[in-house]
Structure 1
Amino acid sequence: MCIVDSSLFAEKEPDMLTPFTVLMPANIRFGRGQAESAAPWLAQQGGPILLVHGASPQRAAFLRQQLEALQLAVTTLAISREPWLSDIEQGVQLAREKGIRAVVSLGGGAVIDAGKAIAALVPAAGPVIDYLEVVGTGRQLEASPLPFVAIPTTAGTGAEVTKNAVINVPEQQRKVSLRDDRMLPDLAIVDPALTDNAPRSITLSSGLDALTQVIEPWLCSRATPFTDALCQQAIPAGNSRAKNPDGTRVSGQPRRDGLGQPVRRTGAGERRLGVIHGLAGPLGA
């Protein structure tokens, strides 16, 4: 277990002279039971809906039932690994064939990235690979993505508040990004109840990921007063929860609730990461 000495992250003198921009989802809903609000929002967009979930469709069954109860046609897509280029290509083809009008991802960071990429690329004119960094041409999206809802079931990646999707291209042994400001989810729902039954190993690994993602931007030379304000509070909070990852109650509140706050943890998608995440691509690809 990694325990961080929070005294190392004392308050910094803010730099108020360097310009910075803040981008975040249009609508962020946090709290237990908030996942129930996804179906009515999607109903306003109209169907058919693409529901992207993890390896187990049972975890997404409640959302599918709610959507179908609202007379929405639902197509499902399972993502059981970090999304490969082929997964995204197949998902885009499926969405076009079904006439999908909105996408919702319910799962971990890989599931959210997959849904985010599919929503962005369904209206695109060119091949998927053209729009990827490094392995493609970095072509810009010609049209806005389909409406997209992100509902995380783990507390690590913060993918629900970022404007990019990480895609594995195994043929080239690369992990690359599809990136566009318009890829920020239209609605991000962070319901800590969805993490309650997560395996201990997932809670530990995603919690350490969350802690890493606030330490790196705090130390980064491109930090801003905005990211500093979020990280300064999140580092000691995440550190204390790393000591108690099982979610036992403290002062009447589940500890795991605090692990479900991606906005604070990731600097609302404005974070600048460091060497740990820099190594993740080469090692993971």
Structure 2
Amino acid sequence: MLIEWILPRKILYGAGSVRAVGEIVEQWGRQKAFVVTGKTPERFSEIFSSLRDAEIPFEIFQVVREPTVEDAENALECARKWHAGIVVAIGGGSVLDVGKVVAGLLTNPGPLRDYLEVVGNAKPLTHPAVPFLAIPTTAGTGSEATRNAVLDVPDQRVKVSIRSPLLVPWAAILDPCLTFSLPSPQTVASGLDALTQLIEAFVCKRANSLTDAVCREGLALAFPSLPRAATNGRDEEARGAMMLAAFYSGVALANAGLGAVHGLAGPLGGFLHAPHGAICAALLVPVVRTNIRLLREREPQNPALARYAELARIAMRCDTADAGDLPQWLNAYVTSLGVSSLADFGLREVDIPVIAEKGQNSSSTKANPVALTKEDICEILREALHGQR
């Protein structure tokens, strides 16, 4: 089995690590930096001071919503006008994804849509991106370690990706202090996204010994730490554990793949315009329950069953736990965190067949540990619709 292992070239982790921004960026030459942030860039005055101390001129671009293709095109146009040679992104997954697009397209000619999957030509990037520093302020998507960026196409009610190993950030700074002010609902949604990515990468068809290692570590960190971080946002130990778990989930995603939760979350996100992490949270238990049941019925010798059993032991901290124990325990865990149903985000029964067809054909669903029929997926969506976890 050929294993490809792609990571950022430099990773800094720890409280206060953002103070090293200027030191990292100046190693790439004193070029103009294009800084992508969210709605409140004033939060990052310490980072901006670090850039000024390093004599790095910079321009700020704000991402104020889940980014559309048009938003990314606007960011790219601004970066080109600024003649940026470096990109720094500070924010959640949406901000980091826009940063990736800008870094990649500054060196690759042509319009963005040429490189997009589904709605474009999926043209491969051929030139390395400009130096890109990713600084996450949520512990969820793991975008600081992945090779893709996700953009919304509202007129087609779909989210699409641009994907290339050349999009992996050059460096990532993981400072848990940046997540202290994240409200509890966002902490839960982003944390369950990371947890879902760890679970799916661990059991998917493309799991390998390298991603297994980071998944095991990430799962052991995330299960006990997420409720603590959601309850007390300034719990530095819990916030640090979730920051690492999210990073590990991105590493696993980039180097193994995911499963049906993310295969369905893509079309649902474009259809409902609901937060990605919240959609994943609503789907997690129905997908895990269905996968375990179908594996037992159709493929009882599939090694994924043993992996689900190991997951149960990690989650429940019980040496005798088995795969069959996981759905009920996971249901109680997710319920305790206040997860919403898909109906709460506006999904209707009549929408299910369309979403199921789109989800069945996604690359993530194809990596699911057991093949799912359209009927299987419809049943998953019905459970998630009504919150029948």
Match of 2:2 in 1: 19
The answer on 1:273 being equivalent to 2:266 is no
- Return the alpha-carbon distance in structure 1 between the equivalents of residues 151 and 164 of structure 2: 14
Match of 1:101 in 2: 85
- Asked if the contact 1:51–1:64 (Cα under 8 Å) also holds between the matched residues in 2, the reply is no
- Asked if the contact 2:105–2:112 (Cα under 8 Å) also holds between the matched residues in 1, the reply is yes
- Asked if the contact 2:176–2:236 (Cα under 8 Å) also holds between the matched residues in 1, the reply is no
1:30 corresponds to which of 7, 13, 16 = 13
1:140 corresponds to which of 124, 144, 152 = 124
SS at match of 1:168: strand
SS at match of 1:260: helix
- Deviations along 1:92-140, one digit per CA (max 9) or x if unpaired, are 1111111111000000000000001111011221111001111111112
Match of 1:220 in 2: 204
Equivalent residue runs for 1:228-247 within 5 Å: 228-246=212-230
- 2:261 is matched by which residue type in structure 1? I
Q: How far apart are residue 276 of structure 1 and its match?
A: 1.1
- Asked if the contact 1:114–1:165 (Cα under 8 Å) also holds between the matched residues in 2, the reply is yes
**How high is the TM-score relative to the length of structure 1?**
0.88
- Return the alpha-carbon distance in structure 2 between the equivalents of residues 140 and 171 of structure 1: 24
Match of 2:241 in 1: 258
- Return the alpha-carbon distance in structure 2 between the equivalents of residues 123 and 52 of structure 1: 17
Q: How far apart are residue 234 of structure 1 and its match?
A: 2.1
- 2:260 is matched by which residue type in structure 1? V
SS at match of 1:22: coil
Equivalent residue runs for 1:63-212 within 5 Å: 63-212=47-196
- Asked if the contact 1:49–1:74 (Cα under 8 Å) also holds between the matched residues in 2, the reply is yes
SS at match of 2:107: coil
- Return the alpha-carbon distance in structure 2 between the equivalents of residues 169 and 54 of structure 1: 20
- Deviations along 1:152-202, one digit per CA (max 9) or x if unpaired, are 010000000011111112222221111111111111111111111211122
- 1:270 is matched by which residue type in structure 2? N
SS at match of 1:244: helix
- Asked if the contact 1:248–1:254 (Cα under 8 Å) also holds between the matched residues in 2, the reply is no
- Asked if the contact 2:20–2:50 (Cα under 8 Å) also holds between the matched residues in 1, the reply is no
Higher helix content, 1 or 2? 2
- 1:259 is matched by which residue type in structure 2? M
Give structure 1 stretches of 5+ with no counterpart. Answer: 1-17
Q: How far apart are residue 247 of structure 1 and its match?
A: 6.7
Match of 2:41 in 1: 57
Higher strand content, 1 or 2? 1
SS at match of 2:214: helix
Q: How far apart are residue 248 of structure 1 and its match?
A: 5.4
Backbone CA RMSD of aligned residues: 1.8
- Asked if the contact 1:101–1:146 (Cα under 8 Å) also holds between the matched residues in 2, the reply is yes
Query: Kindly, what percent of the aligned residue pairs are identical?
Result: 37
User: Which stretches of structure 1, 4 residues or more, deviate above 6 A after TM superposition?
Assistant: none
Number of residues paired by the alignment?
A: 266
SS at match of 1:112: helix
- Return the alpha-carbon distance in structure 1 between the equivalents of residues 173 and 236 of structure 2: 20
SS at match of 1:35: helix
SS at match of 1:160: helix
- 2:22 is matched by which residue type in structure 1? A
The answer on 1:282 being equivalent to 2:282 is no
- Return the alpha-carbon distance in structure 1 between the equivalents of residues 6 and 91 of structure 2: 23
Higher relative contact order structure (alpha carbons within 8 Å, sequence separation ≥ 6):
1
Larger radius of gyration: 2
- Return the alpha-carbon distance in structure 1 between the equivalents of residues 145 and 158 of structure 2: 23
**How high is the TM-score relative to the length of structure 2?**
0.65
- 2:220 is matched by which residue type in structure 1? P
Specify whether residues 214 and 272 from structure 1 end up closer, same or farther in structure 2 by C-alpha distance, changes over 3 A only: same
- Asked if the contact 2:184–2:231 (Cα under 8 Å) also holds between the matched residues in 1, the reply is no
Give structure 2 stretches of 5+ with no counterpart. Answer: 271-389
Q: How far apart are residue 236 of structure 1 and its match?
A: 3.2
SS at match of 2:228: coil
- Asked if the contact 2:147–2:164 (Cα under 8 Å) also holds between the matched residues in 1, the reply is yes
- Return the alpha-carbon distance in structure 1 between the equivalents of residues 53 and 248 of structure 2: 34
Q: Which moved more, 1:227-236 or 1:90-99?
A: 227-236
SS at match of 2:67: coil
- Asked if the contact 1:123–1:146 (Cα under 8 Å) also holds between the matched residues in 2, the reply is yes
